[in-house]
């Protein structure tokens, strides 16, 4: 790796992340969890060939996605401290910001791609049009949840520098939020999904017989701003700490 060619260096860091933290066996497990999540989702659906089926069972998908993301981000960041991977990696002429961004972007893109692909099977199973806007709204909600989990897991990894502790603390924190707050709260994953999905649903479909409770613009905005703003703040703080303050023993 050479510091004279940042694009090439960054691409090599991405390949390093894939080879070391997203090997074939682990990728198979991620694909399996995504498949199971969608199958569990479909088990609760009505075979109505209706766009609303896209929202059924989303709590299950969010739960499994949250656990998988907590494990992978903690394994990459906190586990990297414990195993000495980060110390070895930073001994090469690479920038710390490149290491942080390569890990964050690679994990987010691969996890989201796998879960989005698995979720897309709903289009086939329920004969839903590829042009159905709520399908893409659902993918956006899944991405927001993944970004939110990423920020929490990375932030806790920076504090604990212990893989197991980071997995347990980050997952229990997020699971606790979903358990404590109701399904219509922006602090719960399904509450945020309800605010995003429901708002666009009433804009694009006749919801009189499906969802009589209207979602206000304020509810929609809160459902997007809370996870996005939280993720940005936490990731910026973690980025600054990782690049300027962190000591790798």
pLDDT tens digits, one per residue of 87-130: 888 888 889 999 999 999 999 999 999 999 999 988 887 778 88
The least confident of 31-35, 92-96, 149-153, 238-242 is: 92-96
Mean pLDDT, all residues of the chain: 87
pLDDT band at 225 (very low <50, low <70, confident <90, very high): very high
Burial class (CB in 10 A: 0-12, 13-18, 19+), 84: exposed
What pLDDT, on a 0 to 100 scale, did the predictor assign at position 51? 67
Lowest-pLDDT choice from 28-37, 42-51, 53-62, 77-86: 42-51
Lowest mean pLDDT among 1-15, 27-41, 51-65, 190-204: 1-15
pLDDT tens digits along 125-177: 777 888 889 999 999 999 999 999 999 999 999 999 999 999 999 999 999 99
Q: Which residues contact 27 (CB under 8 A, 6 or more apart)?
A: 110, 114
Q: State residue 71 phi and psi, 5-degree precision.
A: -65, -45
Q: Give the up-direction half-sphere exposure of residue 40: CA atoms within 13 A in the CB hemisphere.
A: 15
Which pLDDT score, from 0 to 100, does residue 20 have?
85
Of 165, 166, 148, nearest in space to 111 by CA: 148
Q: Could you report the per-residue pLDDT of 68-90, keeping only the tens digit for each?
A: 999 999 999 999 888 888 888 88
pLDDT tier at 199, thresholds 50, 70, 90: very high
Of all residues in the chain, what percent carry a pLDDT higher than 70? 88
- Is pLDDT above 50 for 66? yes
Tally Cβ neighbours within 10 Å of residue 157. 28
For 73, other C-beta atoms within 10 Å of its C-beta total 30
Task: Assign 183 a pLDDT band (cuts: 50, 70, 90).
Answer: confident
CA trace torsion 33, 76, 146, 158 (10° rounding): 140
Mean pLDDT of 187-205: 91
In 10 A of CB 32, how many CB atoms?
13
DSSP state of 47: S
Cα 77 to Cα 15, 149, 173, 193, distances in angstroms: 16, 14, 18, 28
């Amino acid at each position: 790796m050479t510091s004279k060619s940042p694009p090439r260096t960054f691409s090599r860091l991405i390949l390093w992340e894939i080879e070391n933290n997203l090997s074939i066996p682990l990728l198979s497990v991620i694909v399996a969890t995504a498949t199971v999540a969608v199958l569990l989702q479909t088990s609760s659906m009505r075979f109505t060939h209706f766009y609303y089926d896209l929202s059924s069972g989303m709590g299950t998908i969010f739960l499994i996605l949250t656990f998988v993301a907590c494990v992978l981000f903690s394994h990459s960041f906190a586990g990297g401290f414990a195993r000495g991977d980060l110390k070895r990696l930073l001994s090469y002429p690479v920038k710390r910001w490149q290491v942080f961004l390569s890990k964050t972007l690679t994990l987010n893109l691969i996890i989201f791609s796998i879960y989005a692909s698995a979720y897309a099977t709903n289009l086939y199973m329920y004969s839903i049009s590829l042009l159905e806007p709520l399908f893409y709204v659902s993918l956006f909600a899944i991405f927001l949840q993944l970004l939110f989990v990423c920020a929490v897991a990375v932030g806790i990894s920076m504090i604990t520098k212990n893989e197991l502790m980071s997995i347990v603390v980050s997952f229990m924190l997020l699971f606790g939020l979903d358990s404590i707050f109701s399904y219509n709260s922006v602090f719960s994953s399904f509450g945020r999904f309800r605010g995003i999905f429901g708002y666009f649903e009433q804009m694009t479909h006749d919801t009189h017989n499906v969802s009589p409770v209207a979602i206000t613009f304020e509810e929609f905005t809160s459902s997007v701003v809370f996870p996005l703003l939280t993720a940005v703040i936490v990731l910026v703080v973690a980025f600054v700490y990782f690049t300027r303050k962190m000591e790798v023993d």
